[in-house]
């Protein structure tokens, strides 16, 4: 598609889509959202970009290849299952710590968050791999 309007829209919208997907990912634990939805949203942003320009441009914009996203995602999901072992709990047990940060206040971080982050990156990478490959055809 060579429409300038679409191109402009795609490139301006992309940061917002990513921001939105990050928010949706983060709020997922307590409100609707989560890694799967967030990953789909992030992928949708890049797919729109690829539709407006082409897949090479989109991959350039992404900086890393979708495969790297997949690897990062699966590794994060898998690694998040391990801390439980060191804490003496069965594999996959969620482990939580509360961290008090300046300005933001007290937040709870846990292995399920990291696991969800893994889901986020995997879904993002998988969708882009499939769609980019099909679009290149």
Residues binding other proteins (CB under 8 A): 24, 28-37, 40-41, 43-44, 47, 51, 66, 70, 73-74, 77-78, 81, 85, 87-92, 94, 96, 108, 110, 112-113, 115-116, 118-119, 122-123, 125-127, 129-131, 133-137
Q: Minimum distance between the CB of residue 79 and other proteins, rounded to whole angstroms?
A: 11
Q: Minimum distance between the CB of residue 22 and other proteins, rounded to whole angstroms?
A: 15
Is the Cβ of residue 8 or residue 82 nearer to other proteins in the bound state?
82
Long-range pairs of 132-137 with CB within 8 A, sequence gap ≥ 24:
132/50, 132/55, 132/58, 132/59, 132/66, 135/50, 135/51, 135/54, 135/55, 136/55
Neighbours of 102 (CB within 10 A): 5
Is the Cβ of residue 9 or residue 51 nearer to other proteins in the bound state?
51
Check if the beta carbon of residue 87 is closer than 8 Å to that of residue 74: no
Question: Residue 94: CB partners within 8 Å, gap ≥ 6?
Answer: 84, 110, 111, 112
Is the Cβ of residue 11 or residue 37 nearer to other proteins in the bound state?
37
Is the Cβ of residue 53 or residue 73 nearer to other proteins in the bound state?
73
């Amino acid at each position: 598609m060579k429409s300038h309007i679409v191109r402009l829209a795609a490139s301006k919208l992309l940061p917002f889509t990513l921001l939105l997907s990050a928010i949706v990912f983060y709020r997922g634990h307590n409100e609707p959202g989560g890694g799967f939805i967030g990953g789909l949203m992030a992928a949708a942003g890049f797919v729109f970009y690829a539709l407006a320009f082409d897949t090479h441009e989109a991959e350039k914009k992404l900086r890393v290849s979708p495969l790297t996203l997949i690897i990062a995602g699966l590794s994060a999901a898998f690694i998040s299952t391990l801390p439980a072992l060191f804490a003496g709990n069965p594999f996959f047990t969620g482990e939580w710590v509360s961290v008090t940060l300046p300005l933001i206040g007290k937040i709870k971080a846990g292995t399920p968050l990291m696991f969800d982050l893994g889901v986020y990156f995997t879904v993002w990478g998988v969708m882009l791999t499939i769609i980019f490959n099909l679009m290149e055809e």
